[in-house]
Amino acid sequence: MRTFIFFNNKKPTCNLNLLPKRRTFLPLFLAILSLFIFSHAESYGFINDLKSNGFSLIPAPQKTELTGQKIVIDNSWTINSKLDANSIVLKTLQTGVIELLGLELSGRGDGKIILEIKPGKINSNLAPELARQAYRLEIAQDVVKITGNAEAGLFYGVQSLLQLLKPMNNGEFSLPEGTITDWPDLELRIIHWDTKHHQDRIETLKRFLDQSAYFKANAVAFEIEDKYEFPRHPVIGAPGAFTKAEMHELTAYAKERFIQLIPDIQAPAHVAYVLKHKEFTHLKSDGSNYQICMCDEEAIQLIFDIYQDMIDATPDVDYFLVSTDEIYFAGICGKCEKEYNDVNRSQAWVDYVNRANEWMKERNRKMISWVEFPLLPEDIHKLPSTMIDGVINDGKDQEWIDEENKAGIKQLNYNSIQGSEYLFPNYFTTRYRGIQIEGNLRGTSVSSANVLERGANLMGSFTAAWGDSGLHNELFWLGWITGIQYSWTVGKPAIEQSTSDFMDAFYGYNSPDMVEVYHLLEDGARFHQDLWDNVISKERAPGYGDWYGKGINTERYDQTFETLPIPAINSESIFSVKYAAKIEKATIVKRDNEKLISLLMHSLSRIDRNQYNLEVLLSIAYLEQYTINTLLNWVKIENYLIEASKAGDEYAKAVNNMVEAYNLAGKILKDGVLIERELTTTWEKSRFKKGRRVNGKEFVHVLDDLKDHIADRRVGLGYMMAPFERMEIDTWQSRLMEEINMFANTHNVEVKGLEEEPLNE
């Protein structure tokens, strides 16, 4: 039954005119209202009965029948199963209870966990692709029985059991007595790994697969770009790129956990990772390294070679993501015969997609693509019914959904966790540059339901995380799992419960502060993002254009803020006046940041699950702290210089104040070195060094279209520190030193107290 709490974008309101007029009745009225809401909470989507009994499970199950009682599991229980000893279901349960919970099932007692596969046992009305994922979890005194229609369903039942086991004070674990019957609403639950500008270690990706399976993901779109060796064109592969053997190992590891490792290849646009190499520069479209020429057969064959290499790298996978992402300039190449206009551009897109789809069909791959601009909706009927649109969401006009339905095209509901946000995703409602931004978690919670209501032919969800705008992949788990949640049970539960369930399942039940930690991290990240001035780039040449057209919106911008003029001795506040509002906010954010770091330190000392994730969060908290301190320290520097200007004939006092300003600028520089070192050390635990040299092969950096400038990224993690570097504090400090020496020599004053510690100490 559809309820307003999920599908109405407006928040429920209360008409105060309907409340009792006399104050004496108001408390009674509110008490009755609270009792009504609590007693009907599940029907309105606020909580489910698992949550009301103190347990968390994400994705939330379809059906629960609980008695309100609890059972206790301890080390004396045993596993009763006829499964092969090498079954991933059995191995997951055996290792999961030990690694996640420290529970060793010795079999000395009467308690049993029974695993069984019974085809057709759970919900016989389900379509086959959903039925094989269904399971039932029956929890009673001394017996926990997990039944699956197929091995996949049994596997998901085990994951649910592992999430539900709640620690007690005496080393035992409790479970809610009753029955959980569960299956997904939608077939595919795809999460997106973006590795364009970094390369994760194999052990990291295996851990990601284990965690993804724990939350019932069943597909990963692996945007690998140049992080594969590409045997047909090895020049494309970055130094140390994954080999075919490594990809086979990873694909098999995923498949064993019922996850499809889907290649995600960008082309014909976003192909700078190919066109940056001199061997392929002649294939550029109109001179841009952003897009390859779509009317050059050599270029098309190069793309298909890349496709074939990735098919060879991922055997027995059903899907391939032909990423037709932002092909702004389809047909603009000088080798194209037709005039470049909206109609021909759309047709060029159609021709490419039809050809790629036929090519994929010959190789038994189902093609997923972004069905979007520059395609015109009137051309949708020309597309093959066998392709899948991976980018249906609330933002698409009804005409697109209707035309795709007529063409027989299935769709994936597209959720984007992160696009260009800095430091931390925009999960919650927040403010950026004075504008309130709706958090993407809430949008994810209603998106599938909304597009289904509009008639979309959904087969699953695609939850994207564009990680290489400055974020670590560890920051995306909440968003990824939220996307999975609302394609497993469309439209429920309430987003607040889903978020709480995630924290319990990901960090363990002893993690009550983590929702607040995420809020504080996001507040600090939005402050960091909002702080800087956007200045025309001196580092990068203008771009080629955007979806509005060639030569439009080409200016590129960098972030920094002004320091202070030299000579710096003056009696007026310049910096403090210009950034007054941000400085005022910084004092508030600073207190929140101190609380954030304290909460993370406390969590590290007591949470024993996903500790590395906490380390990454802490590295971001420290960078946010550095941002705040840099701003506030420049206020202090300005005040020191103002005091110096007011010293009059007290020349020693003036010099001392200038020295304090000099030393504080030096502290900013040294702290920046430490922060970058901390980021690098922490992040490279899970990934390789960016831009590394391996076996004599040098990394080739992407260059601008028009000049030999670095396009978007510094080679290492230095891009995280780039706004601070653009302040040129070292240059400013050197010039201040000249001022200090000149002033001291003129007035015959000794310079004392300079701190000249090397930055590399």
For the cut 50, the answer to whether the pLDDT of residue 546 exceeds it is yes
468 pLDDT band (50/70/90 cuts)?
low
List pLDDT tens digits, range 721-739. Answer: 889 999 999 999 999 999 9
| Four-point Cα dihedral 681, 687, 692, 694, nearest 10 | 120
Provide the pLDDT for residue 440: 85
Provide the pLDDT for residue 719: 82
432 pLDDT band (50/70/90 cuts)?
low
346 pLDDT band (50/70/90 cuts)?
very high
List pLDDT tens digits, range 472-483. Answer: 999 999 999 999
Q: Write the DSSP assignment of 638-665 as a string of letters.
A: HHHHHHHHT-TT-HHHHHHHHHHHHHHH
Q: What is the percent of the chain with per-residue pLDDT over 90, rounded to a whole number?
A: 75
- The set of residues, in sequence order, having a beta carbon less than 8 Å from that of 641 and lying 6+ positions away, is 564, 568, 569, 570, 657, 658, 661
Give the integer Cα–Cα distance in Å for 505 and 439. 22
For the cut 50, the answer to whether the pLDDT of residue 189 exceeds it is yes
Read off the pLDDT of each residue in 476-496 and give the average, rounded to a whole number. Answer: 96
Give the integer Cα–Cα distance in Å for 229 and 216. 30
Read off the pLDDT of each residue in 80-107 and give the average, rounded to a whole number. Answer: 91
Give the integer Cα–Cα distance in Å for 485 and 489. 6
CA atoms within 13 A on the CB side of 233: 22
Give the integer Cα–Cα distance in Å for 482 and 216. 11
Provide the pLDDT for residue 104: 86
Give the integer Cα–Cα distance in Å for 257 and 150. 13
Measured CA distances, 561 to 54, 535, 544, 631, 726 (Å): 49, 9, 27, 9, 8
Give the integer Cα–Cα distance in Å for 186 and 183. 9
DSSP letter, residue 432: E
CA atoms within 13 A on the CB side of 77: 24
151 pLDDT band (50/70/90 cuts)?
very high
φ, ψ for residue 276 (rounded to 5)?
A: -70, -20
For the cut 80, the answer to whether the pLDDT of residue 705 exceeds it is no
Fill in the amino acid letter for 502. Answer: F
Contact 620, 568 (CB under 8 A): no
Fill in the amino acid letter for 203. Answer: E
Provide the pLDDT for residue 434: 65
List pLDDT tens digits, range 366-380. Answer: 999 999 999 999 999
For the cut 60, the answer to whether the pLDDT of residue 532 exceeds it is yes
**Which among 217, 228, 218 is positioned nearest to 195, based on CA atoms?**
228
- The set of residues, in sequence order, having a beta carbon less than 8 Å from that of 75 and lying 6+ positions away, is 103, 104, 105, 106, 108, 171
Residue written as token pair 């000395």: 108
For the cut 60, the answer to whether the pLDDT of residue 711 exceeds it is no
Provide the pLDDT for residue 528: 93
3-state SS, one letter per residue, for 605-637: HHCCCCHHHHHHHHHHHHHHHHHHHHHHHHHHH
Fill in the amino acid letter for 2. Answer: R
Read off the pLDDT of each residue in 100-109 and give the average, rounded to a whole number. Answer: 86
Residue written as token pair 């959980």: 180
In the chain, count of helices (H) and strands (E)?
A: 22, 23
Question: Domain residue spans in the chain?
Answer: 4-182, 188-497, 529-535+563-693+701-746
Give the integer Cα–Cα distance in Å for 196 and 273. 9
436 pLDDT band (50/70/90 cuts)?
low
195 pLDDT band (50/70/90 cuts)?
confident
30 pLDDT band (50/70/90 cuts)?
very low
Provide the pLDDT for residue 713: 57
- The set of residues, in sequence order, having a beta carbon less than 8 Å from that of 218 and lying 6+ positions away, is 133, 152, 188, 189, 258, 259, 260
Give the integer Cα–Cα distance in Å for 118 and 663. 73
Fill in the amino acid letter for 557. Answer: Y
570 pLDDT band (50/70/90 cuts)?
low
Give the integer Cα–Cα distance in Å for 369 and 324. 6
Q: What is the percent of the chain with per-residue pLDDT over 70, rounded to a whole number?
A: 89
pTM of the model: 0.90
Q: Which of 346-355, 412-421, 694-703 has the highest mean pLDDT?
A: 346-355
Provide the pLDDT for residue 3: 25
**Which among 38, 57, 88, 64 is positioned nearest to 210, based on CA atoms?**
88
User: Which of 3.10.20.30, 1.10.10.60, 3.30.379.10, 3.40.190.10 is the CATH number of 4-182?
Assistant: 3.30.379.10
For the cut 60, the answer to whether the pLDDT of residue 12 exceeds it is no
List pLDDT tens digits, range 33-65. Answer: 444 433 444 434 445 789 999 999 999 999 999
Residue written as token pair 């005409």: 399
List pLDDT tens digits, range 259-289. Answer: 999 999 999 999 999 999 999 999 999 888 8
Give the integer Cα–Cα distance in Å for 83 and 99. 21
For the cut 90, the answer to whether the pLDDT of residue 759 exceeds it is no
What are the residues facing 413 on neighbouring strands?
392, 461
DSSP letter, residue 200: B
Provide the pLDDT for residue 569: 60
Provide the pLDDT for residue 714: 67
Provide the pLDDT for residue 101: 87
In this predicted model, which residue has the larger pLDDT, 419 or 632? 632
In degrees, to the nearest 5, what angle opens at C-alpha 439 toward C-alphas 264 and 213? 45
For the cut 60, the answer to whether the pLDDT of residue 20 exceeds it is no
Quote the tokens at residue 650.
């007290």
**Which among 124, 208, 148 is positioned nearest to 473, based on CA atoms?**
208
Provide the pLDDT for residue 6: 22
- The verdict on whether omega for the bond into residue 263 sits within 30 degrees of 0, i.e. cis, is no
For domain 188-497, give the CATH number. Answer: 3.20.20.80
Distance of CA 470 to the CA centre of its chain: 10
543 pLDDT band (50/70/90 cuts)?
confident
Tell me if residue 31 falls in helix, strand or coil.
Answer: helix
Contact 367, 347 (CB under 8 A): no
For the cut 50, the answer to whether the pLDDT of residue 25 exceeds it is no
7 pLDDT band (50/70/90 cuts)?
very low
For the cut 70, the answer to whether the pLDDT of residue 712 exceeds it is no
Read off the pLDDT of each residue in 280-302 and give the average, rounded to a whole number. Answer: 93
Contact 492, 60 (CB under 8 A): yes
Quote the tokens at residue 270.
């976003």
What are the residues facing 135 on neighbouring strands?
148, 182
Provide the pLDDT for residue 568: 56
567 pLDDT band (50/70/90 cuts)?
low
Contact 18, 57 (CB under 8 A): no
Q: Provide the H-helix boundaries in 532-579.
A: 575-578
3-state SS, one letter per residue, for 345-397: HHHHHHHHHHHHHHHHHHCCCEEEECCCCCCCHHHHHHCCCCCEEEEECCCCC
Read off the pLDDT of each residue in 163-167 and give the average, rounded to a whole number. Answer: 96
Residue written as token pair 């001392």: 656
